[in-house]
């Protein structure tokens, strides 16, 4: 399967996974295209479409938490930001993703 | 007053890392660019050790402004720490 076809397949699959979680693809189509391209290349390299903005570690169990869409593993953090870390997905009610900021998980835990 | 040094730990696959670097370029702020996934062996271990020393998780971009760590792309915080206008 070529990269364009794989990107299309990931998009189809991801949409079905994130919808019941209350998320959708970001309206920032340029960002979505870029992230999906990076995930296709990560999948080609590692066999798994990891988040393009997270460090791949030596721990398989830790790495499983960054397989896209990784929302279930970081729900509290992502819900607080209304987006996932890389911004590929946003809460369904988000219309302007530029207003959403990245902040570390520790900031959520502090309250 | 000496200017604060800026270090950007980035991944080549991360769009927000690109935005962070572009932010510093746009503001003519020199920065050390550490493309973590392109580093190999000891260089990568050293970069990770430095990030961890400043409390980094596994998320990128990770920016050090002086001794202040910033996890994520956050122009407002960058400006505040550098004392510049956005």
Per-residue pLDDT tens digits for A58-83:
999 999 999 999 999 999 999 999 99
- How large is the average pLDDT for residues B27-54? 96
End-to-end CA distance of chain B: 21
Domains in chain B: how many in total?
Answer: 1
Quote the number of domains for chain A. Answer: 1
**B35 within some domain:** no
- Does residue B36 fall inside a structural domain? no
Does residue B24 belong to any structural domain of this protein? Answer: no
User: In chain A, which residues have their Cβ closer than 8 Å to the Cβ of B73?
Assistant: 101-102
Q: Chain B within 8 Å of A41 (Cβ-Cβ)?
A: yes
In this prediction, residue A109 has a pLDDT band, given cuts at 50, 70 and 90, of confident
The answer to the question of residue B71 being in a domain is yes
B79 shares contact with chain A (CB less than 8 Å): no
**Nearest CB to A53: which of B48, B59, B74?**
B59
DSSP A57-97: -S-HHHHHTTBSS-GGGGHHHHHHHTB-TTSSEEETT-S-G
In a domain, B58, yes or no: yes
The answer to whether residue B64 is domain-embedded is: yes
Give yes or no for residue A108 having a pLDDT over 70: yes
For an interface test with A, the pick among B8, B9, B15 (most A C-beta atoms closer than 10 Å) comes out as B15
Give the pLDDT score at B86. 78
Q: Hey, is the C-beta of B66 within 8 angstroms of any chain A C-beta?
A: no
* Better-predicted residue by pLDDT, A106 or A47: A47
Residue whose C-alpha is closest to residue A78's, from A54, A43, A62, A47 = A54
Domain that holds residue B72: 54-86
Which residues have C-beta within 8 Å of that of residue B45, sequence separation ≥ 6?
none
Predicted ipTM beyond 0.90: yes
* Residues of chain B with C-beta less than 8 angstroms from the C-beta of A55: 11, 36, 48, 58-60
> Which residue of chain A is at minimal alpha-carbon distance from B14?
A53
Rg (CA), chain B: 12
Read off the pLDDT of residues A2-38 as tens digits, 9 standing for 90 and up: 999 999 999 999 999 999 999 999 999 999 999 999 9
- What is the pLDDT at residue A111? 60
pLDDT at residue A7, rounded to an integer: 96
Residues in CB range of B30: below 8 A, 6 or more apart: B6, B24
CB–CB of B59 and A55 under 8 A?
yes
Is residue B32 a part of any domain in this protein? no
CATH number reported for the structural domain that contains residue A22 in this entry: 3.90.460.10
The domain in which residue A67 lies consists of 3-110
Closest partner residue to B14 (CB to CB) among A53, A66, A104 is: A53
């Amino acid at each position: 399967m070529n990269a364009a076809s794989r990107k299309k397949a990931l998009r189809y699959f991801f949409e079905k996974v994130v919808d019941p979680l209350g998320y959708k693809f970001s309206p920032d189509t340029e960002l979505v295209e870029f992230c999906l391209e990076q995930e296709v290349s990560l999948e080609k390299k590692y066999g798994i479409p990891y988040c393009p903005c997270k460090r791949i570690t030596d721990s398989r169990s830790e790495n499983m938490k960054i397989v896209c869409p990784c929302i279930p593993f970081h729900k509290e953090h992502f819900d607080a930001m209304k987006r996932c870390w890389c911004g590929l997905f946003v809460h369904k009610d988000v219309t302007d993703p530029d207003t959403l900021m990245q902040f570390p998980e520790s900031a959520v835990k502090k309250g | 007053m000496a200017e604060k040094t800026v270090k950007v730990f980035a991944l080549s696959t991360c769009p927000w890392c690109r935005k962070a670097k572009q932010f510093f370029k746009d503001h003519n702020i020199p920065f050390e660019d550490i493309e973590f996934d392109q580093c190999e062996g000891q260089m990568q271990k050293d970069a990770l050790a430095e990030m961890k020393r400043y409390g980094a998780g596994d998320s990128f971009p990770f920016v050090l402004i002086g001794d202040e760590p910033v996890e994520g792309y956050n122009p407002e915080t960058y400006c505040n720490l550098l004392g510049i206008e956005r």
